[in-house]
Amino acid sequence: MAYTTINKPTDYFNVVTWTGTSDSTTAVTGVGHQPDFIWIKNRDVQDDHMVYDAVRGGTKRIFTNSAGAEGTESQGIQSFDSDGFTTGSHRATGGDSGNTMVSWNWKAGTSFTNDASATGIGTIDSTGSSNQEAGFSIVSYTSNGSSNQSVAHNLGGVPEMIISKNRDSGSASYNYWTVYHHSLATANDKKLKLNTSDAASSTNEWGDTDPTSTVYSLHTSGDGTTNHSTDKIISYCFRSIKGYSKFSSYTGNGSTDGTFVYTGFSARWLMIKKSSASGSGWMIFDTKRNPTNDGATLRLPANASSSEATDHILDILSNGFKIRDSDATLNTSGATFIYMAFAENPFVTSTGVPATAR
């Protein structure tokens, strides 16, 4: 049985939807916690995925579908609230009246500062916010462009997925979104790009060194997205928490009776990417947009500004998910797909109570 230390996932992660207004501000509630990492998408139109976090501040936005540097948006997140957040009038955060919006929200909550020379942890100073119980941290640091560098992540365990973005560089060679995933073969020498449909490629973006429970390593030559010149970098670090989150992979079979993937919980949110070949985007599903048991039919690609698409691609079950389509995006025969998933309900709570069907 899959017991967990987190019986109420909404204390740490949740999905909310709302309808955009023409108001100067909109209070979005129902998150269940004060979020520190907010990812917003307009579902109805072609528009950017907007990413905000409490470490950089609510007016600083980056787009998952773009390699562009960080920009200032005064009408972005106006405040991080106890049960959600307040947006300004920008169209991509809910300022388009009548459009349906979705946000995916994670709680970090505990600030940290690491002076590498004083602590002996890593070689580059870092600051951020972390939630070790939920296996999530936000890490901010300034590159130095030198070889053999590392940075403290304050995650409380070994990172299984790291999503990094160069905030400053105007060069397309340096400012794409770099993703580490432990399921990739020789993962410390592989990267994926969140803003593209590229396959995993060989790189020394992670210093050819596995992350540890205290640090992760950076590009050794100083010309990569994780350690370029004196650019500012933001990273979102994750590790699996039994019954709450999982970062793993599966192999497609190319059949409408697709692969069943065990997670140990009913997923609230799921993102899948084919890693062994190019051409497939980062597909996001959640049970807020798909609240019934008739399959996950609504998907949004993290690497594209596209509006929401409808397909019956997979079923989200009480203990995992099952692919229901031969669509190459999620089920190419013999291909490897990596995923990250967060729970709506654990399969079995810490007190032995099983989850019920939706």
The per-residue pLDDT for range 17-51, each reduced to its tens digit, is: 999 988 899 999 999 999 999 999 999 999 999 99
Q: Could you give the CA distance from residue 329 to residue 323 in angstroms, rounded to a whole number?
A: 11
- Which pLDDT band holds residue 175 (cuts at 50, 70, 90)? confident
Q: What pLDDT, on a 0 to 100 scale, did the predictor assign at position 229? A: 87
Q: Could you give the CA distance from residue 48 to residue 258 in angstroms, rounded to a whole number?
A: 31
Judged against a pLDDT cut of 80, whether residue 329 lies above it is answered with yes
Q: What pLDDT, on a 0 to 100 scale, did the predictor assign at position 353? A: 61
- Which pLDDT band holds residue 339 (cuts at 50, 70, 90)? very high
Q: What pLDDT, on a 0 to 100 scale, did the predictor assign at position 69? A: 93
Residue 270: which of 311, 305, 314, 328 has the closest Cα?
A: 314
Judged against a pLDDT cut of 90, whether residue 91 lies above it is answered with no
Judged against a pLDDT cut of 90, whether residue 354 lies above it is answered with no
CB 203 within 8 A of CB 189: yes
- The neighbour count for residue 119, using CB atoms within 10 Å, is 12
Q: Which residues of 32-71 are buried (b: 16+ CB within 10 A; e: fewer)?
A: bbbbbbbbbbbeeeebbbbbbbbbbebebbbbbbbbbbbe
Torsion region of 32: left, alpha or beta (phi above 0 gives left; psi -120 to 50 gives alpha): left
